[in-house]
Structure 1
Amino acid sequence: MPDPDISSVIETPFDAALSERYLVYALSTITARSLPDVRDGLKPVHRRLLWAMRLLRLDPAGAYKKSARVVGDVIGKYHPHGDQSVYDAMVRLAQDFALRYPLVDGQGNFGNIDGDNAAAYRYTEARLTAIAMQLMTGLDEGTVDFRATYNGEEEEPEVFPGLFPNLLANGASGIAVGMATSIPPHNLTELIEAATHLIDNPKAEDSALMDFVSGPDFPTGGVLVDSRESIAHAYATGRGSFRLRARIDVEREKGGGWHLLVSEMPYGVQKAKLIEQIAQLIADKKLPILADVKDESDEKVRLILEPRARTVDPDLLLESLFRLTDLEIRFPLNLNVLDASRTPGVMSLKQALTAWLSFQIEVMLRRSQVRIGKIDDRVELLDGFLIAYLNLDRVIEIIRTEDEPKPIMMAEFSLTDRQAEAILNMRLRSLRKLEEMEIGRERNALAKEREELVKLVESPARQRTRIKRDLQTLKDKFGDDRRTRIDEVAPAREIDWSAMIEKEPITVILSQRGWIRAMKGHVPLEEVPELKWREGDGPFIHFHAQTTDRIALFASNGRVYTLGGDKLPGARGFGEPVRLFIDLDAEVDIVELLVIRPDLKLLLASSDGKGFVTSGDATLAETRKGKQLVNLRSGAKVAVVRPVMGGADSVAVIGENRKMLLFPLSELPELVRGQGVTLQRYRDGGLADAITLRMADGLSWTLGGESGRVRTETDLTPWRAARGAAGRMPPIGFPRANKFDLR
């Protein structure tokens, strides 16, 4: 076989070729798929959908046509992508709960707020709305450029010229490569008023626009609970988020009872999933003050939330629902759009409105200039007609007698080629006196129109006045009232979540291999070792607690994790590995497990002799990953976690070298996180144990054997020294394990 021809093969590093090709894909995703254009607020798929429907003459006053017909035209002529993705985009344009001002008028099942999908495109029909027609106004007047479609057989507009602020009125969302966009919908009346103010005051600050645009206006209503300052900052930077709540009213019943009525949903929240979420809370007893949820919705949303008892505080139930369910959401603002040069960037509210107004003035100028050109063409023909009427007999004679009348007419009457051609194509019935008078009136009207257009093109002040007048007309035609109420609320109060849990006594048991279980009731602790254990396993830590308690687990790597007493597995079998509930590596040891009390103080010490005191609140960690509480040096680990004894005034420390030291507790700092200070100095080994005590009570320890006797050393003066000293040998009889409390 001859060697293959490799002359066309280009040698290039793999990483360079890969990055180059991925960059092309990324740019295509950003500019041709995911980000809307600031001028018309549309992505290419939406623009092509509306353009195809316009060519199909699906006007608001016309008949509906099958959605399949529209989708077929779009993917066949303009948008070479999947039919389902195109239909999904079309469905969203028709949903009045997704778009503030729908651009497609759908007939049939186009989905609902419950989250049900639309019917297949062979079952539904559609046509354009009046607002969509407004958005496309001027397409036939030379206002925007057209480009060839992907196969070069058709043309499509690069952008829609209509006077409608679609970007902000309907919003947009999308994810590209390395960037995303999220723009909430707004009220048209407010946008027009803000744009009008911006026309009169081009240097107005972003904060001044807040007098007109008070915040997003979602099609599903709801209540915006952010402060004015927070909203203004988001609009000024183009980035932020809005707290949106469902509209919930407390309805009183006869006999003193009450229930909550949800009448408006947060934007984008599916009602069926919300009901399922609330029902799950009730089933899991995570919200015991809520008894039931009922859906009485028809065309309007109506959810009934019934409290467990009439004595339940409505505000407490509302706050709990807002925290635990999607009755309150955060809608992000990321005003990332393509500008007139197709460059992506984040804009403020003012920049977006200014860019849109600049484009509308450009559209007005292009429309005027195109119209002036058409008037000039028409006037040229009318002037030729008038010459023909004034010399009608001679024109007829030339036409009857000459084989080539056109050049003779042009030479004799100084006509242009277009004028002469128009005269020769003129119908005989037009050769009447009345037609001559009509031509004169038409020419005068066109001359007057041209004069006004020239003034408009040459005068920025007239352009601003015209835009303001057109905006007012748009407002009168499509403007409506705000749906989303803005009601700034006070900062959320802290909720005692333990009140949401049924308080029951439990016995928490942790085995040496890290298996945890919670037995119902307070089982005598001396009976715990007699329970069944896995082979090779045994008791490690066990204590009495309540289901409402929060339990802290301290790991040797310095991290602390929080477990809820009500979340612990039952005592059937051997329990479950505690590592199923937290992200704790297998090689990390568990140092301590204890109940966190509000007034709890803890002594923390590491194996290298560092330590500090912390509070119970500082140990709380709300996530599976826990949080870093003790910063450890290389090779060190957490060795001691002990509650500070009530009334304690001293700290006793003993090292692996069997040297003991006592110093005042006041010499230890109280930290929420850190490495701490040196407790004891070692030449060899490290820290073995530490404890707090009252110096007046002395130091006690359990003697070995089965006697259970306790010995107390009351004179501790020989071991008292400054923090960080080396210490001395402990009292005679102190446990050889170097532990203050053998467990």
Structure 2
Amino acid sequence: EWLQFRMVTVRRRLQHRLDKVLERLHILEGLLVAFLNIDEVIHIIRTEDAPKPVLMERFGISDRQAEAILDLKLRNLAKLEEMKIRGEQDELNEEREYLETTLGSMAKMKKLVAKELQEDADKYGDDRRSPLVERDAASALDETDLVSADPVTVVLSEKGWVRSAKGHEVDVVGLSYKAGDKYKASAQGKSNQPVCFIDSTGRSYSLPAHTLPSARGQGEPLSGRVSPPSGASFMAAVMGKEKDAYLMSTDAGYGFVVRYADLLANKKAGKTVLSVPKGAKVLPPKPIASTDDDLIALVSNEGRLLVFPVKELPEMARGKGNKMMSIPGARVADRVEFVQDMQVLGPQDALTIHAGKRHLTLKASDLEHYYGERGRRGAKLPRGFQNVDQMAVERKGE
């Protein structure tokens, strides 16, 4: 609207100047007549009582032109010079042509306004005193924006019942479970975060943590909130920030790195994240602290241990992943050979191997013996520790 106002203002200014130029040209034509007929003009002025109408009739000039001639003092009339009058006429005709052309073209009017604005900015402009700050686009409030960020522990049972307990200091195994049911998995986070559940087919589902039933009871079936495929069971629960990294894998020895944001699913039926080879089982996702420095340790049911860097795996949103440990597909399908357990550890962490009632702790220096390239078979653990039940990470400093 200001620019429209500016266009009107400039147009009025140019039109006003054009009117003045045309009026002056008109007068100059009359003065030129007076110059060319100076003696006769002086005679008429001296002898006639009303010289104006006589001048108008004699020379065919207008009232305004005759008035301009009569307004001239005698000494000025004597000084009239044809070259001076014609020179002013040429200048004014050039200006008239510019004004008429500009007024007749919207493009030239805009160009003139822009030029004048730039000149004013260069002459009078200074640094802005009130800063301009870019803000995110306005959006409707999300339900979670109004939820307090309290620490919670989401607990999943073997039968797929879910509940949420306040705080992180929760004895998840010692909670009350229904007859024939027991603890399966848990995840710690905030009440305003979503929690992701992974099922045995590699699908991911997500629910707002604050909508889950309280741990004071025994919870409710997760299948009432989401729609997993027939026969699928829930394997794990995960809570984190959108950019948090996790290791997704199957016991066929395949895996990849995924970001928590890619695990979120806004549909009741969830979404496929992990492709599961024939006969293989889904392993619980493992959090990755550093994709550059962390290590992956895999142990097979035959007692082979392989350790390699996380950075050798690709980061993907979904898929089968890359081969982490070399296990023939047929042996996995027949459940003859598979990954017994998998852990992610830091470069200085220790790894404890549990085999029955015995356990063996391998320090960072001891683990170097089991280092290898991704996709290798791994090295055999010492006798007596090859029948591994599970592994545990002993964090340095804990």
Same fold, judged at TM 0.5 (above): yes
Gapped runs of 5+ residues in structure 1?
A: 1-312, 321-494
1:646-665 superposed matches below 5 A: 646=290, 648-665=293-310
* Distance apart, 1:565 and its partner CA: 0.6
Whole-angstrom distance in 1 between the partners of 2:384 and 2:301: 16
Which residue of structure 2 aligns with residue 557 of structure 1? 201
Structure 2 residue corresponding to 1:588, chosen from 220, 232, 238 = 232
Which residue of structure 2 aligns with residue 720 of structure 1? 371
Q: Is the 8 A contact 2:350 2:361 kept in 1?
A: no
Q: Secondary structure at the match of 2:380?
A: coil
Which residue of structure 2 aligns with residue 642 of structure 1? 286
State TM-score, norm by structure 2. Answer: 0.56
Which residue of structure 1 aligns with residue 361 of structure 2? 711
* Distance apart, 1:698 and its partner CA: 3.9
* Distance apart, 1:525 and its partner CA: 2.4
* Distance apart, 1:511 and its partner CA: 1.4
Say if 2:223 is the partner of 1:579: yes
Per-residue deviation, residues 568-622 of structure 1 (Å, max 9, x unmatched):
1223431100111111235212221021213311111112211111111111111
**Greater relative contact order (Cα < 8 A, sep 6+):** 2
Q: Secondary structure at the match of 2:144?
A: helix
* Distance apart, 1:625 and its partner CA: 0.8
Q: Secondary structure at the match of 1:662?
A: strand
Say if 2:396 is the partner of 1:740: no
Say if 2:134 is the partner of 1:501: no
* Distance apart, 1:502 and its partner CA: 2.9
1:565-644 superposed matches below 5 A: 565-585=209-229, 587-644=231-288
Say if 2:162 is the partner of 1:516: yes
Q: Is the 8 A contact 1:606 1:632 kept in 2?
A: yes
Counterpart amino acid of residue 319 in structure 2: G
Structure 2 residue corresponding to 1:667, chosen from 291, 312, 315 = 312
668-677 or 584-593: bigger deviation: 584-593
Counterpart amino acid of residue 650 in structure 1: L
Q: Which protein has the larger Cα radius of gyration, Structure 1 or Structure 2? A: 2
Whole-angstrom distance in 2 between the partners of 1:732 and 1:599: 41
Counterpart amino acid of residue 387 in structure 2: R
Counterpart amino acid of residue 638 in structure 1: V
Q: Secondary structure at the match of 1:596?
A: coil
Whole-angstrom distance in 2 between the partners of 1:681 and 1:556: 22
Whole-angstrom distance in 2 between the partners of 1:672 and 1:579: 24
Whole-angstrom distance in 2 between the partners of 1:642 and 1:550: 17
Which residue of structure 1 aligns with residue 322 of structure 2? 677
1:236-255 superposed matches below 5 A: none
Whole-angstrom distance in 1 between the partners of 2:351 and 2:260: 25
Q: Secondary structure at the match of 1:717?
A: helix
* Distance apart, 1:734 and its partner CA: 4.4
Which residue of structure 2 aligns with residue 687 of structure 1? 339
Which residue of structure 1 aligns with residue 25 of structure 2? none
Whole-angstrom distance in 1 between the partners of 2:355 and 2:253: 26
Label 1:719 to 1:525 Cα distance change in 2 as closer, same or farther (>3 A): same
Counterpart amino acid of residue 506 in structure 1: V
* Distance apart, 1:671 and its partner CA: 0.5
Label 1:516 to 1:735 Cα distance change in 2 as closer, same or farther (>3 A): farther
Q: Is the 8 A contact 1:640 1:689 kept in 2?
A: no
Whole-angstrom distance in 1 between the partners of 2:156 and 2:284: 17
* Distance apart, 1:505 and its partner CA: 3.3
Q: Is the 8 A contact 2:184 2:235 kept in 1?
A: no
State TM-score, norm by structure 1. Answer: 0.31
Q: Is the 8 A contact 2:299 2:339 kept in 1?
A: yes
Q: Is the 8 A contact 1:550 1:595 kept in 2?
A: yes
Report % sequence identity. Answer: 26
Counterpart amino acid of residue 537 in structure 1: D
Q: Secondary structure at the match of 2:366?
A: coil
Per-residue deviation, residues 509-539 of structure 1 (Å, max 9, x unmatched):
21111111123x216323x333322111122
Whole-angstrom distance in 2 between the partners of 1:571 and 1:545: 15
Whole-angstrom distance in 1 between the partners of 2:234 and 2:264: 16
Structure 1 runs (4+) deviating above 4 angstroms are 701-705, 731-735
Q: Is the 8 A contact 1:529 1:538 kept in 2?
A: yes
Per-residue deviation, residues 625-669 of structure 1 (Å, max 9, x unmatched):
111111233333322421113474322111222211112222100
Q: Secondary structure at the match of 2:369?
A: helix
Q: Secondary structure at the match of 1:740?
A: strand
Per-residue deviation, residues 296-350 of structure 1 (Å, max 9, x unmatched):
xxxxxxxxxxxxxxxxx9x85xx32xxxxxxxxxxxxxxxxxxxxxxxxxxxxxx
539-548 or 510-519: bigger deviation: 539-548
Which residue of structure 1 aligns with residue 182 of structure 2? 538
Per-residue deviation, residues 548-568 of structure 1 (Å, max 9, x unmatched):
011110112111111111111
Counterpart amino acid of residue 307 in structure 2: L
Whole-angstrom distance in 1 between the partners of 2:386 and 2:186: 23
1:29-48 superposed matches below 5 A: none
Counterpart amino acid of residue 696 in structure 1: Q
Whole-angstrom distance in 2 between the partners of 1:611 and 1:590: 19
Label 1:625 to 1:505 Cα distance change in 2 as closer, same or farther (>3 A): same
Whole-angstrom distance in 2 between the partners of 1:551 and 1:611: 21
Q: Is the 8 A contact 1:525 1:543 kept in 2?
A: no
Q: Secondary structure at the match of 2:184?
A: strand
Whole-angstrom distance in 1 between the partners of 2:384 and 2:169: 30
Label 1:552 to 1:733 Cα distance change in 2 as closer, same or farther (>3 A): farther
Per-residue deviation, residues 431-480 of structure 1 (Å, max 9, x unmatched):
xxxxxxxxxxxxxxxxxxxxxxxxxxxxxxxxxxxxxxxxxxxxxxxxxx
Q: Is the 8 A contact 1:557 1:632 kept in 2?
A: yes
Q: Secondary structure at the match of 1:715?
A: helix
Per-residue deviation, residues 147-168 of structure 1 (Å, max 9, x unmatched):
xxxxxxxxxxxxxxxxxxxxxx
Which residue of structure 2 aligns with residue 486 of structure 1? none
Label 1:725 to 1:621 Cα distance change in 2 as closer, same or farther (>3 A): same
1:284-323 superposed matches below 5 A: 319-320=139-140
Whole-angstrom distance in 2 between the partners of 1:544 and 1:725: 34
Q: Secondary structure at the match of 1:513?
A: coil
Whole-angstrom distance in 2 between the partners of 1:543 and 1:629: 19
Whole-angstrom distance in 2 between the partners of 1:640 and 1:725: 22
Q: Is the 8 A contact 2:249 2:283 kept in 1?
A: yes
Whole-angstrom distance in 2 between the partners of 1:509 and 1:601: 21
Which residue of structure 2 aligns with residue 699 of structure 1? 351
Q: Secondary structure at the match of 1:536?
A: coil
Counterpart amino acid of residue 344 in structure 2: T
> What is the Cα-based RMSD across aligned positions, in Å?
2.9
Per-residue deviation, residues 187-241 of structure 1 (Å, max 9, x unmatched):
xxxxxxxxxxxxxxxxxxxxxxxxxxxxxxxxxxxxxxxxxxxxxxxxxxxxxxx
Whole-angstrom distance in 1 between the partners of 2:360 and 2:158: 26
